[in-house]
């Protein structure tokens, strides 16, 4: 069905009263504004809506702030949370004077990455699937004032609540550290909440595969099906929106912060990618684990540019509190079939259509449009330049002797290292005009502001270590 006809049908069938136009900024944050359906006409759908671009980090200066949102009618879905019947539409960002796509629009970057793939002749399509993990807490308190800095987290699942008094009694079913993976109720207290999250994600057009409790107390995962690069990024924004809002309905709070708790597993976002030419999976072949040489080169590109990639795939200062050995965070740049300690895992499966690369170091703080596009550009650079990833390593990388481990390169150890690597290794991103220097420089400036703030703020642990020194 024609997208505009489908849109009109959705409005009519659901007695829509308001239309919510949504777009993603450089930080990966979903923004919106809501219009009364009565004033929506064809002109708005074809000519767009005006916004103030200076209000968003890394976008426009105040003297050039006008920007245009162009709705993409193919993304229209009903919002399942609002009491007023509301239709949501994702938008692309354009320059109002030239009518061209805004070069810092993350969704536009993702679209250009898909277009560039086709121009290379390597493949017609990239399928992307992501697995974001998240924490759900009952209570979160934090403060970052000069004379009051700290945070406090609480969840009934946390072992610190073993002796806490609850109305109706403390029932004692509690998840111990690193013991929550796929636990069942009543230890898994989030079963019904995740089912409701999944139902709302499905209602907004995303195919949900499964959900389960994750390793840490209060940690969860919902897995969705693969899609094209742009649509998978769209779906990650829908996913986060639904998870946060259902948690709120349960009187809880969900976070995609990679490492909110010391001493337990952090939250990753494993990204699965495969290239297709027509109906042929070009990652299938007769090399290691049934992969093609093309797939191995793709991995080689990811490894070569991994430190620059980290600026997009692990874009927070908090990301690097997760990227440490010992909590399933894959810091070593190795690939392996089934081995979850490697940065790239080759999921098992004999069907050629299942052959894919799972990139395990990204986390859900990432802007999905920029992260997926950057990974894809690194992989394509590997194919075009035939970059050898070296031999596979099937050993547990955490248990390797120090002399062996020291020979394996790693991802970045800090956001500062990541943005400096991006500054020095950016040519692969600019191929085909996908990323440009203006966007990269602006992004680095944003990240350096975050780095400087953290590096100049005293930390509670510093008081513990040094106050009486």
Q: Give the residue with greater pLDDT, 80 vs 39.
A: 80
Q: 234 and 373: one domain? A: yes
Q: Is 98 in the same domain as 224?
A: no
Residue 112 domain-assigned (yes or no)? no
Report pLDDT for 60.
76
Within-domain flag for 432: yes
In the set 114, 131, 188, 381, the catalytic residue is 131
What is the arithmetic mean of pLDDT over 76-90? 97
* 394 shares a domain with 302: yes
Same domain? For 307 and 360 the reply is yes
Question: Which of the four pLDDT bands, split at 50, 70 and 90, describes residue 179?
Answer: low
> What percent of the chain lies above the pLDDT cut of 90?
75
Q: Is 90 exceeded by the pLDDT of residue 161?
A: no
Q: At 175, list the tokens.
A: 């998840």
325 inside domain: yes
Q: Are residues 205 and 90 in the same domain?
A: no
Q: Is 358 a catalytic residue?
A: yes
Determine the Cα–Cα distance for residues 226 and 224; give it in Å rounded to an integer: 7
Active site residue 214: yes
Output the domain CATH number for residue 94.
Answer: 3.10.20.70
> Is 404 part of the annotated catalytic residue set?
no
Mean per-residue pLDDT of the chain: 92
Query: Is 231 designated active site?
Result: no
**pLDDT tens profile 277-302:** 999 999 999 999 999 999 999 999 99
The domain of 268 spans: 125-466
The answer, yes or no, to whether residue 359 has pLDDT greater than 90, is yes
Catalytic residue list contains 18: no
* Global confidence as pTM: 0.95
Active-site residue flag, 221: yes
Selected catalytic residue, list 272, 305, 360, 426: 360
Indicate the residue among 70, 102, 134 that finishes a domain: 102
In a domain, 2, yes or no: no
Is residue 128's pLDDT more than 90?
yes
- Note whether 72 and 141 are same-domain residues: no
User: 372-390 burial by CB neighbour count: b if 16+ within 10 A, else e?
Assistant: bbbbbbbbbbbbeeebebe
Residue 50, in any domain of the structure: yes
pLDDT tier at 62, thresholds 50, 70, 90:
low
Instruction: Out of 47, 52, 287, 388, pick the active-site residue.
Output: 52
Count up the domains in the chain and report the number: 2
CATH of the domain at 376: 3.30.590.10
Please tell me which residue in 25, 79, 105, 133 is annotated as part of the active site. Answer: 133
> Rounded to whole angstroms, how far apart are CA atoms 312 and 372?
9
Annotation says 101 is catalytic? no
251 and 299 assigned to the same domain: yes
Told to judge if 270 belongs to the known catalytic residues of this protein, a careful annotator would answer: yes
CB 434 within 8 A of CB 426: no
| Residues 94 and 192 placed together within one structural domain of the fold | no
Q: How deeply is 468 buried, as exposed, middle or buried, from its count of CB atoms within 10 A (0-12, 13-18, 19+)? A: exposed
Indicate if 350 and 233 belong to the same structural domain.
yes
Q: Note the Cα 212 to chain centre separation in Å.
A: 18
């Amino acid at each position: 069905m024609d997208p505009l006809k489908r849109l009109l049908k959705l409005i009519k069938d659901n007695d829509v009263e308001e239309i919510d136009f949504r777009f993603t900024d450089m930080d990966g944050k979903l923004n919106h504004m809501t219009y009364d359906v009565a004033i929506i006409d064809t002109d708005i759908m074809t000519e767009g809506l005006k916004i103030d671009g200076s209000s968003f980090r890394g976008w426009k200066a105040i003297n050039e702030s006008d920007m245009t949102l162009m709705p993409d009618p193919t993304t229209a879905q009903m919002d399942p949370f609002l009491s007023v019947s509301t239709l949501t539409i994702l938008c692309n960002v354009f320059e109002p004077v030239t009518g061209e796509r805004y070069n810092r629009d993350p969704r536009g970057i993702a679209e250009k990455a898909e277009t560039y793939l086709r121009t290379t002749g390597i493949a017609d399509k990239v399928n992307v699937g992501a697995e974001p993990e998240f924490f759900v807490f009952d209570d979160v308190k934090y403060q970052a004032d000069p004379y009051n800095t700290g945070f406090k987290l609480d969840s009934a699942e946390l072992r610190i609540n073993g002796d806490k008094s609850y109305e109706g009694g403390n029932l004692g079913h509690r998840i111990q550290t690193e013991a929550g993976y796929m636990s069942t109720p009543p230890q898994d207290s989030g079963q019904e909440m995740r089912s409701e999250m999944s139902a709302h994600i499905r209602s907004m057009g995303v195919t949900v595969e499964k959900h389960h409790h994750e390793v840490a107390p209060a940690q969860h995962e919902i897995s969705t099906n693969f899609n094209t690069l742009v649509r998978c990024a769209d779906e990650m924004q829908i996913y986060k929106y639904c998870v946060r809002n259902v948690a709120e309905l349960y009187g809880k709070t969900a976070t995609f912060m990679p490492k909110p708790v010391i001493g337990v597993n952090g939250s990753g976002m494993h990204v699965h990618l495969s290239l297709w030419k027509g109906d042929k999976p070009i990652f299938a072949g007769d090399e290691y684990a049934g992969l093609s040489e093309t797939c191995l080169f793709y991995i080689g590109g990811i490894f070569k540019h991994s430190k620059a990639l980290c600026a997009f795939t692990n874009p927070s200062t908090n990301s690097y509190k997760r990227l440490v050995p010992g909590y399933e965070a894959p810091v070593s740049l190795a690939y392996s079939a089934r081995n979850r300690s490697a940065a790239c895992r080759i999921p098992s499966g004999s069907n050629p259509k299942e052959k894919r690369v799972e990139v395990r170091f990204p986390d859900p703080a990432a802007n999905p449009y920029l992260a997926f596009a950057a990974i894809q550009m690194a992989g394509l650079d590997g194919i075009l330049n035939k970059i050898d990833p070296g031999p596979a390593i099937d050993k547990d990388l955490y248990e390797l002797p120090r002399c062996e481990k020291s020979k394996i390169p790693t991802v970045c150890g800090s956001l500062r290292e990541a943005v400096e690597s991006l500054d020095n290794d950016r040519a692969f991103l600019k191929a085909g005009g996908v990323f440009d220097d203006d966007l990269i420089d602006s992004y680095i400036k944003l990240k350096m502001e975050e780095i400087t703030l953290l590096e100049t703020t005293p930390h509670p642990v510093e008081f513990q270590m040094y106050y009486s020194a």
